[in-house]
Amino acid sequence: MVDRIPILKMGQYLLLSIQVDMHDQLAIDLQEDLTEQIVRHKAKGVLIDISSLEIVDSFIGRMLAHIANVSRILDAKVIVVGMQPAVAITLVELGLSLEGIATALNVEKGMRWLERTVDRDMSLEPESDDDTDISAEAGN
Amino acid sequence: MTTTQTFPLKQETDIVVVRQQVRKAAEQARLGLVSQTKIVTAASEIARNALIYGGGGECRIEQQMRDGRTAVCLIISDQGPGIEDLDKAMVDGYTSGNGLGLGLSGARRLVDDFVIRSEPGNGTVVELWKWR
Ligand SMILES: Nc1ncnc2c1ncn2[C@@H]1O[C@H](COP(=O)(O)OP(=O)(O)OP(=O)(O)O)[C@@H](O)[C@H]1O
Ligand SMILES: [Mg+2]
């Protein structure tokens, strides 16, 4: 059995593709690896491709929600891409809404969303050397 | 024609094996893709409960006929402490641990028939049915 999900770094983004049926410990390890790498690489965005996943149960759903929460605190955007329709239908019926997690149909769309969202965020950031002008932060 | 197979639930990785075997059985019963996904997901939830709360158990996978339709029937059992208040445990959001409390209630929604028997001190048995 696979004992690690590889995480790729591309510029300011981290990419990972879950291609195996994960047992619970593997999901927990992934969660920890990813957190550590976001910090180490000062990543601005994370793209998680789950197009190969044939099911998402409450455990994996909770892992995805956890990753989204931790990333938010670390100021990285997360997007989950490629969820199969049968998986989406099943998740809703299971009662797991995954609300608060951004999703996109495929890797390309997800990447574009990340770039747009991260760019917009950067342009809203106050200049580091002035004493933060509230009106500038609130957008013009 | 009935075929029966039994798989142990002793460690986390057994849940993965059960998911794969249930998928196979659902394919053999020629369930649609959404039905397959639902019964596999339900099995994953109930198997994890048997492992975590029941201290381990087993999963029996059968192909059956039910009202003239081909069905997959799963019997997931453990000899753990059992569930004191079944009604409470079946409510969305109820958990005695740190889960979301969606396993039992969600699994019931995902299958065509759901039977649970549990007595304090006598373990828990859950039957999950999905047919074509
Ligand atoms: N096989 C079992 N043996 C003993 N108690 C059980 C068993 N299955 C479930 N329970 C009890 O019923 C409760 C509800 O189970 P359920 O699967 O719905 O939620 P959970 O496991 O707590 O959270 P989730 O499944 O969402 O991660 C559990 O917290 C546990 O107290
Ligand atoms: Mg559970």
Q: Is residue A131 part of a domain?
A: no
A117 falls within a domain? yes
Tell me if A52 sits within 8 A of A60, measured CB to CB. no
**Per-residue pLDDT at A133 exceeds 70:** no
pLDDT category at A1 given cuts 50, 70, 90 is low
Chain A residues close to B33, C-beta within 8 Å: 86
Q: For the whole prediction, is pTM greater than 0.80? A: yes
* Residues B132, B29 contacting (CB under 8 angstroms): yes
pLDDT given for residue A123 in this prediction: 87
Among B81, B86, B71, B73, which Cα is nearest to B117's?
B86
Per-residue confidence (pLDDT) for residue B1, from 0 to 100: 53
pLDDT value, residue B100: 87
Nearest to B41 among A1, A62, A90 (CB): A90
> CATH fold of B2-131, please?
Heat Shock Protein 90 (3.30.565)
Residues of B with Cβ-Cβ distance to A86 under 8 angstroms: 33-34, 36-37
Confidence of residue A100 (pLDDT cuts 50, 70, 90): confident
Domain boundaries, position A19: 7-125
- Local confidence band at A139 (pLDDT 50, 70, 90 cut-offs): very low
The CATH number linked to A113 is 3.30.750.24
In a domain, A50, yes or no: yes
When pLDDT is averaged across residues B2-28 and rounded to a whole number, the result is: 96
> Which pLDDT value is given to residue A29?
96
Angle between helices A58-73 and B33-52 (to 10 degrees): 80
Mean pLDDT of A65-75: 94
Q: How confident is the model at residue A136 (pLDDT cuts 50, 70, 90)?
A: very low
**Residue B111 predicted with pLDDT over 90:** yes
The ipTM assigned to this model is 0.94
pLDDT of residue A140: 38
Our count of domains for chain A comes to 1
Q: Which of B23, B37, B46, B114 to mutate to test the interface with A (most CBs of A within 10 A)?
A: B37
* Residue pair B109/B128 in contact by the 8 Å Cβ criterion: no
Interval A120-131: pLDDT, tens: 988 887 655 544
Closest ligand 1 atom to Cα of A59: 27
In angstroms, the CA A45 to CA A12 distance is 7
Residues with Cβ within 8 Å of A55's Cβ and at least 6 positions away in sequence, in order, are A21, A87, A90, B19, B37, B40, B41, B44
Residue ranges of domains in chain B: 2-131
